[in-house]
Structure 1
Amino acid sequence: MSKSNVNPPLTPPAPTSQVPSSVAAPKKKKPYPFWLGGVAATIAASITHPLDLTKVRLQASGDKRMLDSLQKTVRTAGVRGLFDGISGTWMRQMSYSMCRFWAYEESKKLLDATSPSAPAWKLGLAGSMAGGIAGLVGNPGEIVMVRLQGDFAKPPEKRFNYKHCFDALFRMVREEGPSSLARGVGPNVFRAVLMNASQLASYDFFKATLLATPYFDDNIYCHFTASFAAGTVATTVCSPADVLKSRIMNASGPGSSSTIATIRTALANEGALFVFKGWVPAWMRLQPTTILIFLTLEQLKRGVDWTRGKGWEAL
């Protein structure tokens, strides 16, 4: 009997693991521009400048009440006087604030704290790292801002009479030496560490906590509530360093930049509670500033997302 010449059935090819292009892995989201935080902070600080001006003058002078300080400013310099030194505010925000927002995001990446579930201690550490860097970078702008704002609270013979922020910067170097740009750098860095650990980190923490509840979505109501809580925390935590920074930076002359000497003099003349002098105007200034910063920043981010969605990748 002859063998059959029937060929064995063909084995079907094994399925491939290729993924259709239509379901390819999603493209990693492009980071937001590093300068968004600086722009948001500059807009917010411009709006709240009169309150910031009053806070600095309360801390650097003998005024007792916020209303008294506001009335004195309007009486001596008019309504325009409420915006004295605003160029210093812009210089400070575009150096210090731009740096701190950028450094905070980079620090979160370094600490693997970019997810909404990141622990509070990692957020606080990232904020502290950002504050240390920004405090150093922004110290000259901080001094210029404080001096420009505090000038009219002094007797005419003791005023610096700077024309604008760049005049202040150049005259400080020429008249007091380059080391004047580092005046009060210790309290300023310390305050920046506290500010960013309490403001930036607590905003992220409160926002994530609110979004984890069924009562909030990622919208302006959530952003407002989180920033309100962050502003209160930041004001209380930063008050001691803020008072010392303002007094040291407003001082001039040999020995006037000593932190220890400033503390001893204030303790002897005013008592331990001097570190909370100006807390109410500081809270009233920092609250709207904090709220405006984060509301503006969130809207700027949405604007960037919208432009990118339209195919414009320049941002």
Structure 2
Amino acid sequence: MSKASLPLPPASGTSSNVKPTKKAPYPFWLGGVAATIAASITHPLDLTKVRLQASGDSGMIESLRKTIRTAGVRGLFDGISGTWMRQMSYSMCRFWAYDESKKLLGAGSNAPMWKLLCAGSMAGGIAGFVGNPAEIVMVRLQGDFAKPPEKRFNYKNCFDALFRMVRDEGISSFSRGVGPNVLRAVLMNASQLATYDFFKAEMLKTKYFEDNIICHFGASFAAGTVATTVCSPADVLKSRVMNASGPGSSSTLAVIRTSLKNEGPMFMFKGWMPAFTRLQPTTILIFLTLEQLKNIVDWTRGTTKTPEL
């Protein structure tokens, strides 16, 4: 065979035998940014939920009216700095830990539900512990105006709250309510992150859905409904324990005993409707925003032509 007839080596990047480059992971902070954007939009609903759980208000509308009557429309955004601190600590940590936990468990795109639940639970446990100080700050800032003036903390912002907690209550105050908070975080991430991935994967298996905003909306709506119901008891306990200020009143058992005596067992689901109306749009906004942020990252890397819905 002459030299001229020898087959030429394939040009770089054109051979069918060349393995595709493994997709680079997304920045770890995307989840925190998505959650911060979503929480900023839905903050009035979260504020109402916390005040309804921690006070004697009889309903969501009454709580909203009281807030506007006492603090004006701007009062609906009381404690927004605590919300931002919480999202950029707890939420950023949970999305990062969830992705790392899935890698550890070998949970790919079509992973069984039990692996996703395990990954979500692991992420929730880590994030709930790491984000506990910011969680306390957020709850106190949001719940302050629901209290009588003499019992208010009157924090100026999230940083003032952290400083005064250390000064007045000691560094151990950062662990207040950590048990209910970690429990809630485990339940939240198992029921929200895992179910979103599960519902999204199941929807994509059908001929009716593609990986677009319609699919993301449907999966996030289902995840938000599941998460609201599963997390309600731990959410109520967390809010009441973190808002307690008297000696001997901040233990989880003391809160349960007092609440059962005064309100009965259904206190565990007090604030379910405002929790649903807050968590549902928050869940939808988080995942829709996160998916679009991922599209933007792909676009900047040149792996997609334009960010698509």
Q: Same fold, TM exceeding 0.5?
A: yes
- Equivalent positions of 1:185-224 (< 5 A) are 185-224=178-217
Counterpart of 1:242 in structure 2 is 235
- Equivalent positions of 1:95-134 (< 5 A) are 95-114=89-108, 116-134=109-127
Report the Cα offset of residue 85 of structure 1. 0.2
| CA-to-aligned-CA distance 1:97-121 (integer Å, 9 cap, x gap) | 000000000000000002x210000
Counterpart of 1:288 in structure 2 is 281
Are 2:57 and 1:63 aligned?
A: yes
Which ranges in structure 2 are unaligned for 5 or more consecutive residues?
305-309
SS in 2 for 1:199: helix
| CA-to-aligned-CA distance 1:104-145 (integer Å, 9 cap, x gap) | 00000000002x210000000000000000000000000000
| Larger of the two Rg values belongs to structure | 1
Are 2:260 and 1:267 aligned?
A: yes
Counterpart of 1:91 in structure 2 is 85
Whichever residue aligns with residue 215 of structure 2, its letter is C
In 1, the alpha carbon distance for the partners of 2:65 and 2:246 equals 30
Counterpart of 1:138 in structure 2 is 131
Whichever residue aligns with residue 301 of structure 2, its letter is R
| CA-to-aligned-CA distance 1:204-246 (integer Å, 9 cap, x gap) | 0000000000000000000000000000000000000000000
In 2, the alpha carbon distance for the partners of 1:194 and 1:310 equals 35
Whichever residue aligns with residue 81 of structure 1, its letter is G
In 2, the alpha carbon distance for the partners of 1:154 and 1:272 equals 24
| CA-to-aligned-CA distance 1:21-44 (integer Å, 9 cap, x gap) | 322211110000000000000000
Report the Cα offset of residue 253 of structure 1. 2.9
Whichever residue aligns with residue 207 of structure 1, its letter is K
| CA-to-aligned-CA distance 1:242-281 (integer Å, 9 cap, x gap) | 0000000000132122111110111111001100000000
Whichever residue aligns with residue 75 of structure 1, its letter is R
In 2, the alpha carbon distance for the partners of 1:173 and 1:67 equals 35
CA RMSD of aligned residues (A): 1.6
Whichever residue aligns with residue 40 of structure 1, its letter is A
In 1, the alpha carbon distance for the partners of 2:302 and 2:223 equals 31
Q: Work out the number of aligned pairs and report it.
A: 297
SS in 2 for 1:48: helix
Counterpart of 1:6 in structure 2 is none
In 1, the alpha carbon distance for the partners of 2:75 and 2:200 equals 37
In 1, the alpha carbon distance for the partners of 2:269 and 2:136 equals 21
Are 2:149 and 1:156 aligned?
A: yes
In 2, the alpha carbon distance for the partners of 1:274 and 1:32 equals 41
In 1, the alpha carbon distance for the partners of 2:248 and 2:91 equals 30
Report the Cα offset of residue 20 of structure 1. 5.6
Are 2:236 and 1:257 aligned?
A: no
Whichever residue aligns with residue 227 of structure 1, its letter is S
SS in 1 for 2:208: coil
Counterpart of 2:307 in structure 1 is none
Counterpart among 39, 47, 51 of residue 45 in structure 2: 51
In 1, the alpha carbon distance for the partners of 2:10 and 2:178 equals 56
Whichever residue aligns with residue 297 of structure 1, its letter is L
- Equivalent positions of 1:225-240 (< 5 A) are 225-240=218-233
Are 2:30 and 1:36 aligned?
A: yes
In 2, the alpha carbon distance for the partners of 1:182 and 1:140 equals 7
Identity of aligned residues (%): 80
Which ranges in structure 1 are unaligned for 5 or more consecutive residues?
1-9
| CA-to-aligned-CA distance 1:71-111 (integer Å, 9 cap, x gap) | 00000000000000000000000000000000000000000
Report the Cα offset of residue 310 of structure 1. 7.6
